[in-house]
């Protein structure tokens, strides 16, 4: 890979890392996992950069890579597999998540990975049904039905929490 191509990659990654990390964080709810997902995504991105850099919408391509990495890690169990050779020292979060957040996140983690991804992409990343369909490589009808199944599962786990007090 030549210097010019590397420069393009570095420019892209430095500009997009915050947005990628935010999407990864919303998907999994954990900063460490988010960093691992972004690390995996930008590693694969570098491997494919000469080709990817020529596509029209690099962001859509990279977001698809990130969502796939999330689904793959859910299958493997990300808590067992770290991409780091030696995990860096990390400060504890400034404040622990509220009980409400912890309960919601635990419930999300209990539903199938694709349903979890659909709910997060639609309701936290504000993606349209059509965009989510394209990111996940499925039809809009599938996104709708997975939304419905995922929300039904959350209702069952959490009880009726909307509009009330946790």
Partner 1 sequence: MNDDEYGSQLLSPLRGEPAGPPAVDVVRAMREGRRMRRRRWWTGGSALAALLAAGLTGGLLVANREPEPSPIRPAACTAAALPIGKHRDVEVTGADPSGAWIVGTSAYKEGGPTPTSILVWHNGELVTDLKPAGLRKGSDGVRMADVNASGVAVGGNTDGYPDPYVIEGGKIRKLAGGPGEADAINDAGVIVGKAGPPNQERPVRWASPDADPVPLPLQDDPLSVRSTVTGITPDGTVFGTINWKAYLWRPDGTHGYLETPAVEGRRVNGFTPMVQREGWLYGALHTAAPGSKTPPLPPNGRAEVYRYELTTGAWQKVTDDWKQAQLAGAGPEGENPLQAEPKIYVGQSVLDLPPLAPPAPLPASAPAGLSPGGSRVDFLSDDARVAAGTATDFRGKLSDRRSVPVIWRCR
Q: Site residues for partner 1, window 20-39 (CB under 8 A)?
A: 21-22, 24-26, 29, 31-32, 34-35, 38-39
Q: Does 4 bind partner 1 (CB under 8 A)?
A: no
Q: How far is the CB of 4 from partner 1 (least distance, A)?
A: 14
Burial of 85 (0-12, 13-18, 19+ CB in 10 A): exposed
If the CB atoms of residues 4 and 157 are measured against partner 1, the closer one turns out to be 157
Q: Does 130 bind partner 1 (CB under 8 A)?
A: yes
Which of 15, 86, 91, 165 forms a contact with partner 1 (CB under 8 A)?
91
Phi first, then psi: give them for residue 112, nearest 5 degrees: -55, 150
Angle at 22 between CA 67 and CA 156, to 5 degrees: 65
Site string for partner 1, 51-70 (x = CB under 8 A): xx--xxxxxxx--x------
Which of 49, 73, 82, 86 forms a contact with partner 1 (CB under 8 A)?
49
Estimate to the nearest angstrom the gap between the alpha carbon of 81 and the chain centroid.
16
If the CB atoms of residues 4 and 57 are measured against partner 1, the closer one turns out to be 57
SS3 category, 110 = helix
Q: What is the CA radius of gyration of the chain?
A: 17
């Amino acid at each position: 890979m030549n210097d010019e191509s590397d420069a393009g990659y570095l420019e892209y990654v430095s500009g997009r890392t915050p947005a990628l990390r935010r999407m990864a964080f919303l998907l999994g709810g954990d900063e460490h996992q988010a960093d691992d997902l972004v690390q995996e995504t930008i590693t694969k991105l570098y491997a494919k950069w000469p080709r990817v850099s020529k596509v029209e919408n690099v962001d859509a391509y990279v977001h698809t890579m990130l969502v796939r990495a999330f689904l793959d890690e859910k299958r493997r169990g990300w808590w067992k597999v770290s991409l780091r050779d030696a995990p860096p020292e990390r400060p504890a979060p400034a404040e622990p998540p509220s009980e409400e957040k912890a309960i919601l996140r635990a419930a999300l983690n209990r539903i199938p990975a694709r349903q979890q991804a659909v709910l997060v992409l639609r309701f936290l990343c504000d993606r349209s049904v059509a965009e989510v369909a394209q990111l996940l490589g499925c039809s809009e009808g599938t996104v709708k039905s997975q939304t419905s199944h995922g929300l039904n599962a959350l209702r069952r786990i959490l009880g009726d929490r909307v509009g009330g007090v946790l």
